[in-house]
Structure 1
Amino acid sequence: MGTAAAGADGVAGERRQLINVAYRLLGSLAESEDAVQEAYARWYALPRSRQDEIVSPGAWLTTVTGRICLDVLGSARARRERYVGAWLPDPLPDHAEWEHGHGTDPADQLVLDESVTMAFLVVLESMTPAERVAFVLHDVFRYPFAEIADVLGRTPAACKQLAASARRRVRVERTPATAAGQADTVRQVKEAWETKDIAALVDLLDPAAVMTADGGGMVGTVLRPVEGGARIARYMVAIADKAPGLELLERSVNGVPGLVARRAGAVMTVASFEVADGRVTRIWAVRNPEKLGPWCGTGACTESGS
């Protein structure tokens, strides 16, 4: 990897890994793409002699991308305070559907596993920037703490403590539903929603369920989480009443069964679910159109959709 040719091949081949790291750190496709582009810009700004000295361009790019993401996370709190309503990570379509869209989009580079589920990403949002970087790089991507120390500018021991602190925030006691079990529950939710059956929805929702919606101030939605299965059921039916012609599609969202709502061919909402013991405990509904772009390259949009 020390030669110019090997270095060029190495950096070109790192993009997929870098996008995967950045998305898990930031939860935003646009910000992840920007972070990776900035890392590449810094690489190409290095003199050729300096590039040749770097034994592993991939490790160098990961370190730089991590530092850029750390800076973005540091400023995110202030930006989130200005955000209208709740902020949720960008929802990801399934690759099988994405292949019908624009394959060069960063969404196509992402590996869909348990570390990109909406439930997991929301937990990451509760961590400090340093905790999130240490946890994601070590627990998800298995980077050694010695390398993470270069990203955070701390000792390996301090990074290990950060990861341990972050790990405690993950609710390990929760037993998520299997993919088949979640798909069955989500399908029942879809059917009850379509028929506006409040009683059936209440049965499918945990009494302590919480629904969070992200409209970004660009579309109408609740600004605060809706709490309680009965309240959520009534809210869902009210949405159906106000949007005649709303079509619900079963789709994989961030690698797990979810729902996409579209109207007149345009995707309006992408909903993720957390299911435990056959009941929905959390719903995350992304309605901000700026976060739904990738879904218009999938089977969730018709050719006439936006």
Structure 2
Amino acid sequence: MPVRLDARLAGDLFFFRVLIEAGGFARAGDRLAVTQSAVTQRIQRLERRVGYPLLERGAREIRLTAAGHDLFAAARSGFDGMGEALLRGERREGRATLRISCVPSLASEWLAPRLKAFSDTHPDIDVAVFGETHDLDPGRMAQSGIDVAIRYGPAPPPGATVAFDHPEPVYPVCAPAYRDAADPGGAVVLLHDATPWEAAASVSEEWDRWIRVHGAPWGGRIQNLYFNLAQLALRASLGGSGIALGRSLIVAPYRADGRLVPACDAALMNGLRYFVLVRALPPAGPVAAFVDWLGRTMAGPPGSPEAPRRGGAAECG
């Protein structure tokens, strides 16, 4: 029986495309805001519908069959064409908007509270901000209509075009009550962002990097709590649940009002940065205006950590 395109098949093809581009079921689930098992079920349903396997079984990583390669190329081309047509339609109707893709923690904790300053000086530019973590190169930015992307990590995404990068020192932070109540012989709770960047080697990659620089912290028993977003780990630290790795731009206001304090002496770790990505250099028009504003704002008054007082959880090693 011939396979006919309908709404269900179109939806499953979109899941298939995201799976291949994400490189794994868990990452596809994160991008689609569904569970890993939901992605698996959609791919299995698609294979039953088309009548042939799309993925090689038993492979440790995602590998397409020959037929899977053909279907993926067709699905990507079709969805890209529809996306580009929708964007052209918006621009013809005069509804063009500067689209910013930003890692969620920076978007919610730092960028969103400052956007009024950009809008006040550029009232003719509409802005849409999307909290996202997946890697983007110029082609994927164009396909999804993203004008500027901000990503965090030790290196920019593969193939990305970087307008500038901003160093982001990180250091352990916690609520004052957690530091003051710490038992030198007790357990220390480390709060993890389990997906700090797309290619992170493990769910503890960010803390592992810090430990390689400063040694195992506090000499006691370690308990770990994992979150899929950095701002969840930050909120847990604000609530007194443990120690998070604070990114300087993000934790500066909480340091200023006393809700967070450094959890360890001499604990700065360098080497992580925010990368500001564009489709092409040099940026022009609204993109250039935003990138210029962003660079000046990020380089504004620093929120570098002060030397914490000693005692309790403030001692490392």
What TM-score bracket applies, with the shorter chain setting the length?
Answer: under 0.3
Larger-Rg structure: 2
TM-score where L is the length of structure 2: 0.26
Higher helix share: 1
TM-score where L is the length of structure 1: 0.27
